[in-house]
Amino acid sequence: MVSAVVETPAISVRGVEKSFKNVHVLRGVDLDVAAGSILALLGSNGAGKTTLVRILSTLLKADSGAATVNQFDVATQGSNVRESISLTGQFAAVDEVLSGRENLVLIAKLRRLKNPGAIADELLAQFDLADAGKRTSSTYSGGMRRRLDIAMSLIGNPPIIFLDEPTTGLDPQSRMEVWQTVKQLAKGGTTVLLTTQYLDEAEYLADRIAILHEGTIIQNGTLAELRQLLPEATMEYVQKQPSLEDVFLALVGDEPRKES
C-alpha cells in the first residue's frame, strides 16, 4: 500500500495574535497556503489583513502564535524568510523619474544579480511592457505601473509573493491587467497570498478564499465550498448560485465596521 504524500504548505499560520495598545486586531489566526496556489485573504477595511501580511513578511512581530514561510520560522529565521518572499504593497513602489527598464535594472543591481540588463529585458517582455520599457514610468497607466511594480518584486525569483490589495484605486481595465499578471505568476509556480476587499477579485483569482473577520479566519475554502454554505435560490425555472458577495455578507453581517 502506497501512503499519500502530504505536501508542506508554503505558508503556515497557527494561533497568531496581535494587538496595538488596547485594540486586539488578530485573535488567533490559523491558515495554510499550498505551494503554487493563490489564496485570497478577504476582509473588510480594518479586518487585520495587512497586519497579518506584515507579520508573515517579518515587518511586524506577532504577540503570540507561530508562522512559517517556505518552511522558515518568521520569528527566528527572518533573513531566510525575506530571501524567500517578495511583498507588493497597496501603492506601487516605482521611481517615476526612471524608465521602466531602469527601475528593473536598479533592483537587480541592488540584489547583486548578474546581467541586470538581461533580467530587466526578460521581465519587460514577460509583463508586456517591452514597448514601454524606455519611457519614464510617470507616463505609465495605473495598470502598467502596477505590473512594473510586481515585475520589480519578482527579481531574484522568490517562490512566495504577498500582494496587499494590489488593485486599490485602479480602473477596471487596469485591474484586469493586474489579474492576468497574478494568474500568470501562479501558472509559473509562484505561491501568491493576495489580500483584497474586492469580492469579484477573490472570485476571479483565488484557488482558495479565507475570510478574516474580527481577528480570526471564519471560513476557508474554494469558491464552490463557500457557495455551499448558503442554500440555492430558485425562481420559476431559473436557478441562482449564491455569489461570493452573498456568502461574505451572510458570514460577517452588515453591522457597522470597527476601526482598527
Mean pLDDT, consecutive 10-residue stretches, the chain (260 aa), reads 68 96 94 96 90 96 97 96 89 87 94 93 90 94 88 89 86 83 89 92 94 94 89 62 80 58
Within the chain, strands assigned E span: 11-20, 23-33, 38-42, 64-69, 72-73, 85-88, 160-164, 191-196, 208-213, 216-221, 233-235, 238-240
pTM of the entire predicted model? 0.82
Q: Where are the alpha helices (DSSP H) in 71-219?
A: 78-84, 100-110, 116-126, 142-153, 172-187, 199-205
The predicted structure's pLDDT at residue 174? 78
The predicted structure's pLDDT at residue 255? 55
Domain with residues 11-92+158-174+185-252, CATH architecture: 3-Layer(aba) Sandwich (3.40)
CB 40 within 8 A of CB 192: no
The predicted structure's pLDDT at residue 28? 96
The predicted structure's pLDDT at residue 4? 52
CB 148 within 8 A of CB 92: yes
The predicted structure's pLDDT at residue 230? 79
